[in-house]
Amino acid sequence: MTEFQWPWEYTFPPFFTLQPHEETRQQQLKVWTDLFLKYLKHTNKFSLSINEQSLPLFHNESIQRRLSPELILVILEQLQRSGHATALDKRRQEWQVYWYTLEAYGNMVYDWIQETGQTNSICTLYEIASGESTTQMDFHGVDESVLLNALRLLEEKGRCELIEIDGSHGVKFF
Amino acid sequence: MNRFAYVEARLSSNETFVSRDSRVKIFDGDQKTDFEEGEVVLTTHRLFWGRPGEIARAAVTLCLPLSYVISLGEETTASNFFGRKTRIILHLRPPGPDKMPGPLDTSRATHIKLSGKNGLSMEFHSALRETLNARIWEISLTSETIIKGVDRSPTSDPVNDRLARIQKRTGIGGIERHLEAKAKATDENIALAFQDLSVLMTMAKDMVGLSKTISGRIREQKGEISDDETVRFKSYLMSLGIDDPVTRDNFTSNSAYFSSLAQQICQMLIDPIEEHGGMMSLADVYCRVNRARGLELLSPEDLLHACEQLRGPIRLRSFPSGARVLQLESHDDDLIAIDTLEKVQAAESLAVEELAKQLGISLLLAKERLLVTERLGKVCRDESIEGLRFYPNLLLQRD
């Protein structure tokens, strides 16, 4: 795995303080949300806990600055607004964060199914997320719980049906 | 108490009414007397005390010529039932030989006290003080004594004079007189010491006048002294005080007072404010103005009102944080921001106290400068355990 490329802002101390100036804050949050997604994609993580103090994303040791839990929450809420994150608990401490929005994931999977002619057949989630046939796809390696949420969205649109077998899920596309 | 005489409550010629107070009690020394719940009337020459209504009827009442009073004092008593009240103490000279009969022939006390149910009113108190300071009774008295003195001098006998002096020194009476004289001198000293303040006030005006004439003379003699020296000497004089402090007394309406006060503040501060980078906190303004005025001190409220009236090169400005400063009109936020940004850029990052040190301004002003610059998006903040620092706003400018 290659070394993660931190943006220059990561070594700029004010980057770790929420800026009161409106325009600056928008820019700051934009960089942060990008950084969150890039970092999670790089490390192939789909969940974040606000209490993960040692995570390099929250803490730049070289300049001794860390994100306050409040600021992390602000960033995650910003991600939620753009459809890239969901809170997993009521206290909003545990978050699911994903590179593509759930809708994008759903569409990608559906397109792939149609291209490979698998409509009306049943696949397991493991096949979609980690199967050998999807290694070239953008959604390869997606967290199964994220995939499940994406498929539920598809189900609402009537494009597939989720089936539960022995505690694991299968899906049938139409 | 034995200085009081029974006199009809009528004004004599050139005597005028000054003030009155009711429900007043007299103390002989520290002792209570029967003279309670009465009415006092102060005239330019005398102090009357009568039962309610007596003075109005011009009946015979107690009367104390003010010439007996050496000095005025006050004491504050506090009791659980009656709260605090202020009594006036009048220190008196020994009774003269020509004193009319009064309520008490002898008394060991050399002072009396006036007291009311709730203390004496402030108006009466200050009227009494002013009347005693004015010493109007002396004017007629001295003119009388001059006439008397002229009458007496040829008949006065040097031998009698010496005898009288020897008598004064000998015996217990002599010692008593000596002690009395000493007490009297102390009292007078105290009275004088307090008078000095008012003397100082009047002297200040003369001093200012003096400095004016000297500076005027220097201006005329420009040829003989070099310009540089003239300027320096003038600055010394100016540092004594401003030429003609605007005082409330000179104005009938508040608004006129405040607007001319504002004008003066503006003239006075325009140079210092420029030197300080265009802004000065109100606390600094207050100190500077009062330092320059010398004795005609301004209250903070008056100063604030005057500052609110400022319409000119200087304006009062309130920051969102609540801090208020006087600011040059030419010196707007954009200029401050550009200037502050330069400082921040030169230092890479700046804390409030570092900027204050660099510019020689107060922390408050330094912080406001940085906040103004931040509001314009030119710097951004870094809050950490090391405190608040400001950096050039690379977040916006880098891309």
Q: Which tens digits make up the pLDDT trace of A60-108? A: 888 888 888 888 888 888 888 888 888 888 888 888 888 888 888 888 8
Phi, psi dihedrals of residue B82, rounded to the nearest 5°: -105, -5
ipTM for this prediction:
0.77
Amino acid at A153: L
- The segment(s) of chain B belonging to CATH 1.10.10.10 are 252-397
- Taking CA atoms, A97 is separated from A44, A66, A79, A110, B220, in Å, by 11, 20, 8, 21, 86
Binning pLDDT at 50, 70 and 90, where does residue B150 land? very low
| Of B44, B3, B46, B42, residue with least CA distance to B24 | B42
**Measured between CA atoms, how close is B339 to chain A, in angstroms?**
19
Average pLDDT score over residue span B312-328: 83
Judging by DSSP bridges, how do beta strands A59-60 and A47-49 pair with one another? unpaired
Buried b (16+ CB within 10 A) or exposed e, B193-202: eeeeeeeeee
Least confident span in A17-31, A148-162, B346-360? A148-162
Q: Per-residue pLDDT tens for B264-310? A: 888 888 888 888 777 888 888 888 888 888 777 888 888 888 888 88
DSSP A89-143: STTS-EEEE-SS-HHHHHHHHHHHHHHTT-TTSEEEHHHHHH-GGGTTSTTTT--
**Measured between CA atoms, how close is A23 to chain B, in angstroms?**
8
| Of B71, B75, B96, residue with least CA distance to B30 | B75
- What pLDDT is attached to residue B149? 44
Q: Domains (ranges, CATH) in chain A?
A: 8-97 (1.10.10.570), 102-173 (1.10.10.10)
CB-based contact A12 B391, cutoff 8 Å = yes
Q: In what order do the strands lie in the sheet with B350-351?
A: B350-351, B387-392, B379-384
- What pLDDT is attached to residue B151? 46
Segment of B30-44, B169-183, B214-228 carrying the highest mean pLDDT: B30-44
CB-based contact A13 B393, cutoff 8 Å = no
CB-based contact A8 B398, cutoff 8 Å = yes
Note which residues in 63-82 of chain A have CB less than 8 A from chain B.
64-65
CA dist., res. A154 & res. A103, Å (int): 8
B348 shares contact with chain A (CB less than 8 Å): no
CB-based contact A17 B391, cutoff 8 Å = no
Tell me the average pLDDT of chain B.
77
Q: Does the pLDDT at position B71 exceed 50?
A: yes
- The segment(s) of chain B belonging to CATH 2.30.29.30 are 5-141
CB-based contact B380 A24, cutoff 8 Å = yes
Contact call for residues A88 and A97 (beta carbons, < 8 A): no
Average pLDDT score over residue span B194-213: 64
- What pLDDT is attached to residue A158? 76
CATH, range B5-141: 2.30.29.30
Binning pLDDT at 50, 70 and 90, where does residue B229 land? low
Note which residues in 27-56 of chain A have CB less than 8 A from chain B.
27-28, 31
Fold of B252-397: Arc Repressor Mutant, subunit A (1.10.10)
A61 shares contact with chain B (CB less than 8 Å): no
Q: Per-residue pLDDT tens for A100-118? A: 888 888 888 888 888 887 7
CA dist., res. A105 & res. A111, Å (int): 10
B391 shares contact with chain A (CB less than 8 Å): yes
Show residues of chain A in contact with B382, CB under 8 Å: 13-14, 16-17, 65
Contacts (Cβ under 8 Å, ≥6 apart) of B254: B305
- What pLDDT is attached to residue B204? 65
A132 shares contact with chain B (CB less than 8 Å): no
- DSSP bridge partners of B60: B8
